[in-house]
Amino acid sequence: NVLALTGDLVTAGDQPQAKPVFDIDSVHLLKMIDNLNNGMDLSGKDIAGKTSFFSGAAVDPGADPITPQFIKFKQKIESGSRFFQTQSVFNIEILDSFMKKITQPDVRILGGVLVLKSAKMARFLNENVPGIEIDEATIHELEKDPKPPSRGIKLAVKLVREMREICHGVHIMSIGREEIVPEILKQV
């Protein structure tokens, strides 16, 4: 499997002084992978053999406006994406609305579940990570709980249960706490 991402601007990362490189974006990377899977090099010339990459890409169901996101979504499908991982979703209605607009039945969507550790983390994500929007009610739940990491796990379990009803699977982002993933899966 290959997840083709354009990535965020370097100014959003931990090395903001790095030089941005725009040689290729996710749509072009998907097309390159599709060429290799069809026995062609990057310029479309035949090569000996084929690859068998299963390519995917990212999508943000909460993008506002959503129209440019759907244009890019369709371009990624046309370029060979067979699955999508969503940006972290905290509002299940947004994901449900997005799923109802998809007309390509053979494309699989994995809902993004980010496990929150604290209200401080939630606020940081809201302020600094493009595409993430955590509502005040969720932040308040984390603030009032004496064990915020446990509350974050409970919220993740709830999201996984809800997402399983409307999309094809989930991807859990535990951000350095991979040991909690089995605990989440046991509760689902």
More confident residue, 23 or 54: 54
Distance CA 161, CA 168 (A): 12
- pLDDT at position 64, please? 85
Give the pLDDT band of residue 12 (cuts 50, 70, 90).
Answer: low
Distance CA 4, CA 1 (A): 10
Q: What confidence tens digit (pLDDT) does each residue in 141-182 have?
A: 999 999 989 999 999 999 999 999 999 999 999 989 999 999
Q: What confidence tens digit (pLDDT) does each residue in 67-88 have?
A: 999 999 999 999 999 999 999 9
Is residue 11 pLDDT above 90, yes or no? no
Model pTM score: 0.88
In DSSP notation, 108-171 reads EEEEEEE----HHHHHHHHHHSTT----HHHHHHHHH-SSHHHHHHHHHHHHHHHHHTTSSEEE
